[in-house]
Chains A and B, each alone.
Chain A
Amino acid sequence: MDKDINITVKVWRQKGPKEKGHFETYELKNISQGSSFLEMLDILNEQLINEGKVPVVFDHDCREGICGMCSLYINGHPHGPDEDITTCQLHMRKFNDGDTITVEPWRSAGFPVIRDLMVDRTAFDKIIQAGGYVSVNTGGVPDANSIPIPRHDAEAAMDAAACIGCGACVAACKNGSAMLFVAAKVSQFALLPQGKVEAARRAKRMVAKMDELGFGNCTNTGACEVECPKNISITNIARLNREFLKAKFKD
């Protein structure tokens, strides 16, 4: 049964990208375990506003696990202690009366803090712009069945396409590496005939952009896969390595 619980939240506060941050501790009373984690933060912000203080800044949008905006490092886990969900899908049920909950922003050189819990993830957009697309010449829409695709490939491409680009992989990685994200984006196209055409160019450009933006070298610790809310497999990283090496040896 859901109860009302009293909790302490330790939240990272930072006025701006260049400012030095610190933790603030807040007490919250009678939080329903039926509420979501972000609703709990909404209640905290209401409380802060009523006290005349500045509310905590955090990213969120769809609040149903599809947009990839929410991004909190909660008690040692990106997206909190639950499995295979985003922060917005996390419930207060996962916490007990009297708990202290530590809430931090994603931390990596590639994702600098903008304010409080909000980080700058435009690096991912830049990686996508570098090649994470299929150039389409518009015209009549061909019949889907005219291009046969093996079921296994279609499934694997679909699994890779489940990536919402939230950045939990980078946040979890001790190397601040973005390989799981890039691997998912390269794989979802490389597996399909439409994407194969630009596969070599895509792999090279996206990896080059990823390196340029200061993400680390993947050492296959597998932390990304464990924390990914969409269960993206690290075997996609092996595929990215394959695609990249194939492209380089073709040159």
Chain B
Amino acid sequence: MSWLINSSIGRKVVQSLSGLFLILFLLFHMCMNVVLIFNYETYDFLANEILGANWWAIVGTLIIALGVVIHILYGIILTLQNQKARGKDKYASSSKTPQAWSSKNMFVLGLVILIFVLLHLYQMWYEMQFKELFHISGARTDGAQLVAEKFSQLWVVVAYIIGFIGLWFHLTHGFWSALHTVGWNNTVWMKRIKVLGNIVSTIICLGFIVVAIAVHLGYSNLLG
């Protein structure tokens, strides 16, 4: 399996599969957030009883963390290798080749996402699962209330929106690129997977943003 490290296509496949895995996780996470709009109690039940500090939730968290670490590590390796392959001398007449903006800025978009993820982990995950796990006092079990508190601050909502706009651009290129990398593309499917990528990116990002804004404006726990 050394080709997953030594070969350019192998490295791209790792980047692709880790990215697709993170997309699946985000879809699940987004669906769970939508519950906040309807009922806080159900949300807390899902967060504490179904997930919480149960072994499966811990294993899940570790797998996701592994996915994130691999994706970032490979992203850095790919970017550095590609800069080297470009050579030391840069073009004086800068490239006029039309290309999708996001495809040229995947690393920077990734950094935007990373900063956002760190903020998010500190604000939510650290207060709940982490503190519970390591028996640090003040672990929160009222997840929905915690979310409502955080989202009542405007700057948090704005930070979330910026993070998800970055993610949207990352995914509009990332989704079809990932399928292309594992070979699932041809002249017919090219248009389809690009459209599908735009739909998936929009559903994910809009879902997260809508929940953040709804909670901020008080349109949450509607059936509570």
Contact = CB atoms under 8 A, between A and B. Distances in A.
Interface in A200-226: 207-208, 210-211, 214-223, 226
A248 B3 contact: yes
A217 B83 CA distance: 10
Contacts of A197: none
B93 A216 contact: no
A172 B95 contact: yes
Contacts of B7: 207-208, 211, 244
Contact of B91 (A76, A110, A244): A76
Query: For chain B, what secondary structure do more than half of its interface residues adopt (helix, strand, loop), or is it mixed?
Result: helix
A121 interface: no
B100 interface: yes
A217 B79 CA distance: 9
Given A107-B87, A172-B95, A220 B103 contact: yes
Main secondary structure of the interface of A (DSSP, over half): mixed
A184 B27 CA distance: 36
A225 B124 CA distance: 44
Nearest to B87: A109
Nearest to B16: A241
Interface string B6-32: 111111110000000000000000000
Nearest to A251: B3
Interface string B47-80: 0000000000000000000000000000000100
B100 A241 contact: no
B112 to A, nearest CB: 17
A221 B100 contact: yes
Contacts, number: 141
Nearest to A203: B9
Contact of B82 (A217, A234, A248): A217
A34 interface: no
Nearest to B176: A220
Given A215-B85, A245-B13, A172 B183 contact: no
Query: By CB atoms of chain B within 10 A, which of A172, A176, A207, A238 has the most?
Result: A238
Interface residues of B, number: 43
Contacts of B176: 220
B3 to A, nearest CB: 6
A207 to B, nearest CB: 6
A113 B89 CA distance: 10
Contacts of B11: 217
Interface of A: 10, 12, 21, 23, 73-78, 81, 102, 104, 107-110, 113, 172, 174-177, 179, 207-208, 210-211, 214-223, 226-227, 233-235, 237-242, 244-245, 248
30 contacts: A10-B92, A12-B92, A73-B93, A74-B93, A75-B96, A76-B97, A107-B86, A107-B87, A107-B90, A107-B91, A108-B85, A109-B84, A174-B95, A210-B8, A214-B85, A215-B85, A217-B11, A217-B82, A219-B78, A219-B103, A220-B103, A220-B180, A221-B100, A222-B99, A223-B95, A238-B183, A238-B185, A241-B181, A241-B183, A245-B183
Interface of B: 3, 6-13, 78, 81-82, 84-87, 89-100, 103-104, 106, 173, 176-177, 180-187, 190
